[in-house]
Structure 1
Amino acid sequence: MRLRIGEVLGLQRRDLENLDDPERALLHVRRQWNVKANAFTPPKADSVRSIALPAALLPALRQHLDMYAPIHRTAPVLAGSRGVRVSQSALDRAWRSAREDAGRPGFHFHNLRHTGLSKYAEQGATLAELLHRGGHTDVSVALRYQHATAERDRALTQRLSSDIEV
């Protein structure tokens, strides 16, 4: 979903809206779990934002909430067996295990963010849209996700050619 690990750990049920309506489904990034402060703090660089959720993720997200998250509005989206927020170290252990099982031992949690924002850019997102979705304030950071690919270059060139045909 293109979130930082602290933002994922800060998610609460109330941060997910309209999960039954793909046209209106939203995720609100309002806080992060700050390990150093041992508390919830505003997201990095004050990047409070609301982003649309892809329809393809909604069934799995609803299933996750039904199975694992307590039902009250401020319940953590990632909750342990007692309904409390999962710690970053517990998430790290689960992530290491999952990536080993998948045969991707070098795939870091932050790689999900990079992949998601790169795919978003490949769909034609503008720089401003990338800045918003990723919660960035520095243009040079957002530019990392606008990788030029041969396939995308060819598609854009074909569109350009159709506009200038004589």
Structure 2
Amino acid sequence: MDVDLDARTVRVRVAFMERSSGGLVLGPPKSKAGRATVGIPQSIIPILREHMDTYVKDEPGSLMFPGAKGGPIRRSGFNSRTRWVDVVSDMCLPGLHFHDLRHTGNMLAAESGAGLKDLMARMGHDNVRAAMIYQHAVRGADEAIANAIDRQLAARDDDEGDEAAGALVLAG
């Protein structure tokens, strides 16, 4: 994954897969559609910039969300490494799972009015059935999606605060 905060994009090229043996393998995403360049809403750029300045090494190939020793975070260590339970409690969102953030981001994207094809590209879906859960999409609309999410977050920030709203989109 390549993050370009100036261009406001995330480029997904590879993913870590956890093997049943416990090992991690870096390879292509699960589907061709998983390889994508996705727009980042302007409203979360400052949060990402602060995160990168604090936690991400200034070296090629550095991870955006490194584990304790600088490697990838394993699924089994996610809750303790990220203090997920504490964060969810602080946000007064009991029962919120990390994957729910992807669903929320996809719902916000669908509310932008984008067509089905663009939503599929943004979500990394290669089948219509999965993307239909969230609705509509149109090619070239990814920047419009990011801008629409910005507008929604700005409206919600007045009620919820910057950190909670930014966290909801980050995983989208």
Q: Same-fold call, TM > 0.5?
A: yes
Task: State which structure, 1 or 2, has the greater radius of gyration over its C-alpha atoms.
Answer: 1
Runs of 4+ in 1 over 6 A off after TM superposition: none
1:44 alignment partner in structure 2? 30
- Aligned identity (percent) is 34
CA displacement at 1:81 relative to structure 2? 4.4
User: RMSD of the TM alignment (CA)?
Assistant: 1.8
The answer on 1:123 being equivalent to 2:106 is no
Residues 123-151 of structure 1: CA deviation (Å, up to 9, x unaligned): 1110001100000011011010129xxxx
Q: How many residues align?
A: 130
Deviation per CA, 1:84-104, whole angstroms, max 9, x where unpaired? Answer: 332222223332332233332
Paired letter, 2:74: S
Describe how 1:67-82 pairs up with structure 2 within 5 A.
Answer: 67-82=54-69
The residue aligned with 2:12 is: 29
Counterpart for residue 121 of structure 2: 132
Q: Distance in 2 between matches of 1:136 and 1:82?
A: 32
Matched to 1:39, the amino acid is: V
* CA deviation map 1:12-42 (0-9, x unaligned): xxx012x1x3xx2210111111112621121
User: In terms of mean alpha carbon deviation, does 100-109 or 132-141 score higher?
Assistant: 100-109
Matched, 1:108 2:97: yes
* 1:77-96 correspondence to structure 2 within 5 Å: 77-93=64-80, 94-96=83-85
Counterpart residue number, 2:48: 61
- Give the 3-state SS of the residue equivalent to 2:31 in structure 1: helix
Q: Structure 1, unaligned stretches of length 5 or more?
A: 1-10, 148-166
Contact 2:11 2:38 in 1 (8 A): yes
Cα-to-partner distance string for 1:40-75 (whole Å, 9 max, x where unaligned): 121121221101111111111111010011110101
TM-score by length of 2: 0.69
Deviation at 1:111, TM superposition (A): 0.8
CA distance in 2, matches of 1:38, 1:82: 15
Length-normalised TM-score, structure 1: 0.71
